Structure 1
Amino acid sequence: MAAAPWNDSSNAQLAVLIDADNANPSIIEGLLAVVSRFGVASVKRIYGDWTRPNLGRWKETLLDYSIQPIQQFAYTSGKNATDSAMIIDAMDLLYTDTFDGFCLVSSDSDFTRLASRIRESGKRVIGFGEEKTPRPFVVACDQFIYTEIFKDKGTDVATPARKQLTSTQLRKNAGLVNLFRAAIDAASGEDGWAALSVVGGLIQKQAPDFDSRRYGYQKLSDLAEAIGLFTVARDGGTVLISDQKPKRPVKSTKTAAEMTAKLPG
């Protein structure tokens, strides 16, 4: 699912913390574009041992995007001092109570507890990492975005754009279909219709790494229609979805906010 506003406010203050050892510079443009939809990246820091040649490709990127490099020497072979430095910084920033949320960029499971701790403090966490990211870190975040979706045409290491799955392939994905059906059932009114924005929010809660682009569709509505099992309609500026086959959409008497308020968690 494409990124949605952070608490419906583009002015949310965010801290973007990047593990240089577990992120590729080719993703940064697309990543920061997504972050900007959630709010303002007030802090942008990247952690690593900058004396090592393997981080050389990051240096030009840091200047272009005004990302502050944080030097952390590897004191002992086999120990990741970079992770510790990033975790300590994140906690220091958390205690300032300045930020509405944190964007953690890494494919390392060592940040699982950090994500959980930040959320325990009432802040939101968006994770960014490769598809190899261990599941515990993924589900510890409010939302997790796989960096393979960020295609950089000028870099030969970028992953090709996702092939669009057919309706038959989508319907065979029982997990995907069940996510939609459970969310529609929870969000729909007596008329059987639910606001797609509410459905998308519920799916995200159940599966933090859900993203329509992983199936080759830029929009959630496009994916829902492509599955072919649901009815998608538009009522003014609101996109509605139903698990039934009604003849026409009935204007809902409930707003998206009202439907969300009645839902658990």
Structure 2
Amino acid sequence: MVDEPGSAHLAVLIDADNVSYARVPALLGEVATLGRATVRRMYADWTEDKNRGWKDAANEHSIQPIQQFAYTTGKNATDSAMIIDAMDLLYTGRFDGFCLVSSDSDFTKLASRLRESGVTVYGFGERKTPHAFVKACDRFFHMDVLSAPTDDPAPPDSEQRPTAGALRQDTKLLNLLRSAIQARSDADGWAHLAQVGAFIAKQEPDFDSRNWKYAKLVDLVTAIGLFEIERREGAVRVRTIKR
């Protein structure tokens, strides 16, 4: 049982054949917002020259490298080792969630199986990640929007943000927001923004305001200009502006 937010025990399993070691600081920074990474493992054939860059990342972030020889040229042999480890860890009953770091569709069934056992599954991958794997996770994070933790984080590059007009043309985004607000609203049409975000994430696991270059959901909703925002006692409420 999780005692408080951020106290969940997580197993972080990284398909190093499928992810760049340069992503590790940002990855673990995001994982830290979800819980404690009590197990950190990375899988690859470490005898291959292409994987040498992972050595520093493993040492700096205390990630255990798991060796898996490539038995056949052109085939990823690490998948089976990572899947077997995930199931072994699941059966210990010590974990509240699993972080599967890969863009490989081969982990779709694993994600589904873990969820069936009642643990939370967080996926991390590139934009090329197959939709089936994304949907199999409770939450999915695109690696390119993650930022490494710093003492003085730089603000997002506003020049790269889509304009209000462009956001209003994003029919899928607007439909997700409107339907979530309606589902979570009170008699006056107000809905807590945190509940809105959680409702959308259940439908679209990779929903993240950072995909539109906004650090927070409230900033994205405000930028669209079609919703009314109210801040009260530390909470943010939102409702659709009636025209």
Which category of TM-score, normalised to the shorter sequence, fits these structures?
over 0.9
- 1:141-193 Cα offsets, whole Å, 9 max, x none, are 001000011357xxxxxxx9682111001000000000000100000010110
User: Residue 102 of structure 2 contacts residue 124 of structure 2 at CA under 8 Å; is this kept in 1?
Assistant: yes
The equivalent residue for 1:96 is 92
- 1:62-116 Cα offsets, whole Å, 9 max, x none, are 0000000000001122332100000000000011111000000000000000000
The equivalent residue for 1:34 is 30
Matched positions, count: 234
CA distance in 1, matches of 2:11, 2:52: 24
CA distance in 1, matches of 2:146, 2:182: 32
For 1:193, which of 190, 195, 210 is the aligned residue?
A: 190
**Consecutive unaligned residues in structure 1, runs of 5 or more:** 1-5, 153-159, 247-265
Residue 26 of structure 1, CA deviation = 1.1
Residue 209 of structure 1, CA deviation = 0.6
Matches within 5 A, 1:232-247: 232-245=229-242
The equivalent residue for 1:175 is 172
Percent identical residues: 56
User: Residue 105 of structure 2 contacts residue 132 of structure 2 at CA under 8 Å; is this kept in 1?
Assistant: yes
CA distance in 2, matches of 1:120, 1:151: 31
RMSD: 1.7
The equivalent residue for 1:43 is 39
- 1:114-150 Cα offsets, whole Å, 9 max, x none, are 0000000000000000000011000100010000113
CA distance in 2, matches of 1:49, 1:169: 44
Matches within 5 A, 1:216-227: 216-227=213-224
Name the SS for the 1:116 alignment partner.
helix
* 1:117 paired to 2:113: yes
User: Residue 29 of structure 2 contacts residue 147 of structure 2 at CA under 8 Å; is this kept in 1?
Assistant: no
User: Residue 192 of structure 1 contacts residue 244 of structure 1 at CA under 8 Å; is this kept in 2?
Assistant: no
CA distance in 1, matches of 2:103, 2:41: 16
Instruction: State which drifts further: 181-190 or 7-16.
Output: 7-16
The equivalent residue for 2:153 is none
Name the SS for the 1:221 alignment partner.
helix
- Matched AA of 1:165: P
User: Residue 30 of structure 2 contacts residue 146 of structure 2 at CA under 8 Å; is this kept in 1?
Assistant: no
User: Residue 140 of structure 2 contacts residue 205 of structure 2 at CA under 8 Å; is this kept in 1?
Assistant: yes
Residue 230 of structure 1, CA deviation = 0.6
CA distance in 2, matches of 1:123, 1:230: 35
For 1:128, which of 124, 129, 134 is the aligned residue?
A: 124
The equivalent residue for 1:59 is 55
CA distance in 1, matches of 2:157, 2:3: 29
CA distance in 1, matches of 2:132, 2:85: 22
Query: Are the structure 2 counterparts of residues 62 and 91 from structure 1 closer, same or farther at C-alpha, using a change threshold of 3 Å?
Result: same
User: Residue 149 of structure 1 contacts residue 161 of structure 1 at CA under 8 Å; is this kept in 2?
Assistant: no
CA distance in 1, matches of 2:196, 2:105: 29
User: Residue 192 of structure 2 contacts residue 235 of structure 2 at CA under 8 Å; is this kept in 1?
Assistant: yes
The equivalent residue for 2:83 is 87
User: Residue 180 of structure 2 contacts residue 199 of structure 2 at CA under 8 Å; is this kept in 1?
Assistant: yes
Name the TM-score, length of structure 2 as normaliser.
0.92
The equivalent residue for 2:134 is 138
- Matched AA of 1:92: D
* 1:15 paired to 2:18: no
- Matched AA of 2:51: L
Name the TM-score, length of structure 1 as normaliser.
0.85
- Matched AA of 1:81: A
The equivalent residue for 1:210 is 207
